Copies of this chain bind each other. A is one copy, B any other.
Amino acid sequence: MSFEGEQYPGVQAPPGETEGFRLNHTMLRVKDPEAALGFYTRVFGMRVLRRLDFEAMQFSLYFLARPEAGETVPEETGERTVWTFSQRGVLELTHNWGTESQEGRIYHDGNAQPQGFGHICFSVPDLEAAEAWFDANQVEFVKRSDQGKMKDVVFVKDVDGYWIEVVQADRLSALGD
């Protein structure tokens, strides 16, 4: 029998009406797209699938993902837009035009008050290698893997100050025990 999900108060079996629903992306506002794109493409190896510009509303959206080996991203832009909105694990960065000229960080990370959103998380094959890579790129750490109560869990900040958790999946089998 296949796994049907852990059961807790409130949990319901997936209704048929939700067939084909897919968690596609998470949107974060960024101050300076050049800095944010530099960070996510270099430090986390993401690619820009699509930029969408909305002149009337004065903003641009950048959709980033890290296509897996064997996945073919369509070249044609319309097809690529449809493909982008059909995937899982996409990051959308919103740039409100003109914010890049402001001083310092301008967006709220959700971990300071008022709280809400906490972080995004990347899974990596080798946590120490990833930490060394972050150091080589002068990435700001919130917590290293040997610090705090949760060992084997790293938190860094992106250029806007959002928290990024970084884990190595096969080291977490006993987490929460």
Interface 0/1 of A121-158, CB less than 8 Å to B: 11111000110010000000000000001000000000
Q: Which residues of B contact A167 (CB under 8 A)?
A: 24, 85
Q: Which residues of B contact A119 (CB under 8 A)?
A: 26-27
Q: Which residues of B contact A38 (CB under 8 A)?
A: 10-12
Within 8 Å by CB of A129, from B17, B41, B173, lies B17
Q: Which residues of B contact A26 (CB under 8 A)?
A: 26, 117, 119-121
The residue in chain B whose Cβ has the minimal distance to the Cβ of A122 is B21
Within 8 Å by CB of A122, from B22, B116, B124, lies B22
Contact A175 B81 (CB under 8 A): yes
Contact B11 A37 (CB under 8 A): yes
Interface residues of A (CB under 8 A from B): 2-15, 17-29, 33-38, 41-54, 56-57, 61-62, 65-66, 68, 72-75, 78-92, 94, 107-110, 114-125, 129-130, 133, 149, 160, 162, 165, 167, 169-170, 172-176
